[in-house]
A and B are shown apart, each in its own frame.
Chain A
Amino acid sequence: MGKPKKSTYEASEVEKINASIALADKKNFKENYLPKQKEFVERAEIEADSLVNRAEGVAVADTMQALTTNPNKRIVESVDAQADMAVAGTDQLLQGTTQGVQAGIGDQVTGAKMVNKMASATATGLSQASKIATTDTLNRAKAKNVRLAGNIKGFTTLGTQMGKNFDQYRAAEIYNQTQENKPDGGNPIDLSTNPFDIAFGRGIKIT
Chain B
Amino acid sequence: MAIMSQIEGMIKPAQQDYAGGLAPVDNPDKVFSDILREDYNDYIENFREFEKRLLGKTDDTTIVDRSRINAAKQRRIAAGIQRRNLERYGGAGLSQAQLQQQQRTAQRGGALSLANTLNNARVRQRAMNQALLQEVIGIGQGVNARALEGLGTAAQGEVQRRGAYKNAKANYASQMTGMATSILAAFAI
Spell out A's residues near B (CB within 8 Å).
11, 16-17, 19-24, 26, 30, 34, 38, 41, 45, 52, 56, 60, 64, 67-68, 71, 73, 76-77, 79-87, 89-91, 93-94, 97-98, 101-102, 105, 108-109, 111-113, 115-116, 118-127, 129-134, 136-138, 141-142, 145, 148-149, 152-153, 155-156, 159-164, 166-167
Contact = CB atoms under 8 A, between A and B. Distances in A.
Nearest to A166: B187
A30 B101 CA distance: 68
Q: Which of B74, B114, B139 has the most CB of A within 10 A?
A: B74
B23 A122 contact: no
B78 A89 contact: yes
Contacts of A38: 46-47
14 contacts: A20-B23, A30-B42, A38-B46, A64-B77, A83-B78, A86-B77, A86-B78, A94-B120, A108-B57, A125-B36, A132-B32, A133-B33, A159-B179, A167-B187
Size band of the B side of the interface? 35 or more
Dominant secondary structure of chain B at its interface with chain A: helix
B70 A122 contact: no
A19 B28 CA distance: 7
Instruction: Enumerate the 3 nearest inter-chain pairs by beta-carbon distance, A residue then B residue, closest first.
Output: A163-B186, A83-B109, A159-B183
Given A76-B86, A122-B40, A166-B187, A152 B175 contact: yes
A128 to B, nearest CB: 8
A153 to B, nearest CB: 8
A159 B186 contact: yes
A131 B153 contact: yes
A111 B106 CA distance: 44
A112 B117 contact: no
A134 B110 contact: no
Contacts of A64: 77, 81
B157 A163 contact: no
A145 B128 contact: no
